[in-house]
Structure 1
Amino acid sequence: MLDLLVGPFAEFGFMRRALAGCVALSVSAPPIGLFLTLRRMSLMGDAISHAILPGAAAGFLVSGLSLPAMTLGGLAAGLTVALLAGLVSRTTLLKEDASLAAFYLVSLAGGVLLVSLRGSNVDLLHILFGSVLALDDAALFLLGSISTVSLAWLAVMYRALVLDSVDPLFLRLVSRTSSVTHLSFLAVVVLNLVGGFQALGTLLAVGLMLLPAITARFWARSINGLLPISVGVALFSSYAGLLVSYYGGLPSGPTIILAAGTLYIISLLVGPKGGLLWRKRG
Structure 2
Amino acid sequence: MYEYLIEPFIRYGFMQRALLGSLFLSASCAPVGVFLMLRRMSLTGDAMSHAILPGAAIGFLLFGLEIIPMTIGGLVVGLLVALGSGVVSRLTIQKEDASMAAFYLISLAVGVLMVSWRGSSVDLMHVLFGSVLALNNEALILIVSIAAVTFLALAVFWRALVAECLDPLFLRSVSRIGAPAHFLFLTLVVLNLVGGFQALGTLLSVGLMMLPAAASRFWSNRVGPMCLIAVAIAAVSSLGGLLLSYHASMPSGPAIIFTAGGFYILSTLGGSRGVLRSAFASSRHKTA
1:204 aligns with 2:175: no
1:241 Cα deviation after fit: 0.1
Residue 94 of structure 2: SS of its match in structure 1?
Answer: coil
What residue in structure 1 maps to residue 176 of structure 2?
176
- Give the count of matched residue pairs: 281
1:3 Cα deviation after fit: 2.8
1:26 aligns with 2:1: no
What residue in structure 2 maps to residue 277 of structure 1?
276
Q: What is the distance in 1 between the residues matched to 2:191 and 2:279?
A: 41
1:276 Cα deviation after fit: 1.3
Deviations 1:49-70 (A, max 9, x none): 0000011011100011011111
1:140 Cα deviation after fit: 0.2
What residue in structure 2 maps to residue 65 of structure 1?
65
What residue in structure 1 maps to residue 108 of structure 2?
108
Q: What is the distance in 2 between the residues matched to 1:102 and 1:223?
A: 31
1:35 Cα deviation after fit: 0.3
- Runs of 4+, deviation exceeding 3 Å: none
What residue in structure 2 maps to residue 144 of structure 1?
144
1:263 aligns with 2:230: no
Q: What is the distance in 2 between the residues matched to 1:73 and 1:138?
A: 16
1:92 Cα deviation after fit: 0.5
Return the letter of the residue paired with 2:153: W
Return the letter of the residue paired with 1:50: H
1:132 Cα deviation after fit: 0.3
Percent of pairs with identical residues? 59
Q: What is the distance in 1 between the residues matched to 2:61 and 2:235?
A: 34
Q: What is the distance in 2 between the residues matched to 1:95 and 1:122?
A: 37
Q: What is the distance in 2 between the residues matched to 1:94 and 1:234?
A: 35
What residue in structure 1 maps to residue 286 of structure 2?
none
What residue in structure 2 maps to residue 44 of structure 1?
44
1:2 Cα deviation after fit: 2.4
What residue in structure 1 maps to residue 218 of structure 2?
218
CA RMSD after TM alignment: 0.6
Residue 186 of structure 1: SS of its match in structure 2?
Answer: helix
Q: What is the distance in 2 between the residues matched to 1:131 and 1:58?
A: 19
Return the letter of the residue paired with 2:226: L
TM-score computed with the length of structure 2 as normaliser: 0.97
What residue in structure 1 maps to residue 84 of structure 2?
84
Q: What is the distance in 1 between the residues matched to 2:95 and 2:247?
A: 46
Residue 28 of structure 1: SS of its match in structure 2?
Answer: helix
Residue 149 of structure 1: SS of its match in structure 2?
Answer: helix
Q: What is the distance in 2 between the residues matched to 1:227 and 1:202?
A: 23
Between 2-11 and 245-254, the greater mean CA deviation after superposition = 2-11
Return the letter of the residue paired with 1:59: G
1:227 Cα deviation after fit: 1.1
Residue 218 of structure 1: SS of its match in structure 2?
Answer: coil
Q: What is the distance in 2 between the residues matched to 1:116 and 1:167?
A: 44
Q: What is the distance in 1 between the residues matched to 2:156 and 2:97?
A: 27
Deviations 1:56-102 (A, max 9, x none): 01110001101111101101110000000111111001111110000
What residue in structure 1 maps to residue 17 of structure 2?
17
Q: What is the distance in 2 between the residues matched to 1:224 and 1:78?
A: 27
Return the letter of the residue paired with 2:219: W
1:225 Cα deviation after fit: 1.2
Q: What is the distance in 2 between the residues matched to 1:278 and 1:73?
A: 46
1:272 Cα deviation after fit: 1.0
1:223 Cα deviation after fit: 1.1
1:224 Cα deviation after fit: 1.9
Return the letter of the residue paired with 1:102: A
Structure 2 unmatched runs, 5+: 282-288
Q: What is the distance in 2 between the residues matched to 1:58 and 1:138?
A: 19
